Amino acid sequence: MWIAPSRDSPDALGIATDLERGLQHLADTYECEWAGVLRDPERRAQFRQYARGQSTEPRKPSARTWVKLAQVAEVPRDGGIAARYGETEIAIFNFASRGEWFASHNLCPHKRQMVLARGILGDASGMPKVACPLHKNTFDLRSGACLTGDLDAIATFPVKIEGDDVLVELPPAEDLCATPPRPAVQDPAA
Ligand code: FES
């Protein structure tokens, strides 16, 4: 039989008390599962990073080296070219009107296309930028940050000119995403 709670005792049915007791029990008996894994070598071994080897350490960033990727004369003024680097591509930009060179991964994070070398160079309040030729998302050529939305940043790299050569300071090629297969036809409106 249902009994209406009285004004004097809003929890006459004891519902709130039961909830409080249940919550207290959860708080008292809570145990972080992952902390348990870290304390137990056997369970921790199940989370090793590689099938071979025992390392569970995060991968350290690899050392960068200067790599000769192009000749100065190959890169158009205020334009870019794509240079093959292992299984991937690096975009090299000769921003001649600023007197500066830039390099980035050629991969646009929007549709994961290797197209940035064909992008349009520009200036955003003094900041050098490149607009992707496909859908015009724009990236800061220094930090790589996307300036037109919340896309991932592009990877950018230092450039130096030595004589006729363009050198880019790069991590090992395997640290960068490989070039995806190119679609037969690319629709800019897609
Ligand atoms: S693929 Fe670059 S903006 Fe869409």
Whole-number Å distance between alpha carbons of 161 and 76: 15
- Residue 180, pLDDT > 80, answer no
Mean pLDDT score, 123-152 = 96
Whole-number Å distance between alpha carbons of 145 and 127: 11
- Domain coordinates of the chain in residue numbers? 15-45, 65-175
> Which residue, judged by its Cα, is nearest atom 1 of ligand 1?
111
E strand map for the chain: 65-71, 79-85, 88-95, 100-105, 107-108, 113-114, 120-124, 127-131, 138-140, 156-157, 159-162, 165-170
Mean pLDDT score, 80-101 = 96
What is the predicted pLDDT for the residue at 183? Answer: 54
Mutation to probe ligand 1, out of 130, 132, 187 (largest number of atoms < 8 A from CB): 132
65-175 CATH, one of 2.102.10.10, 3.40.50.10470, 3.40.50.720, 3.50.50.60: 2.102.10.10
What is the predicted pLDDT for the residue at 175? Answer: 86
Q: Which of 4-8, 59-63, 184-188 has the lowest mean pLDDT?
A: 184-188
For residue 12, name the pLDDT band (cuts at 50, 70, 90).
Answer: confident
- Single-letter residue type at 89: E
Mutation to probe ligand 1, out of 104, 137, 179 (largest number of atoms < 8 A from CB): 137
Mean pLDDT score, 144-161 = 96
Whole-number Å distance between alpha carbons of 138 and 178: 22
The widest CA-to-CA distance across the chain, in whole angstroms, is 95
- How far from the centroid of its chain's Cα atoms is residue 184's Cα? 27
What is the predicted pLDDT for the residue at 6? Answer: 60
175 close to 62: Cβ distance less than 8 angstroms: yes
What is the predicted pLDDT for the residue at 100? Answer: 98
Whole-number Å distance between alpha carbons of 132 and 78: 15
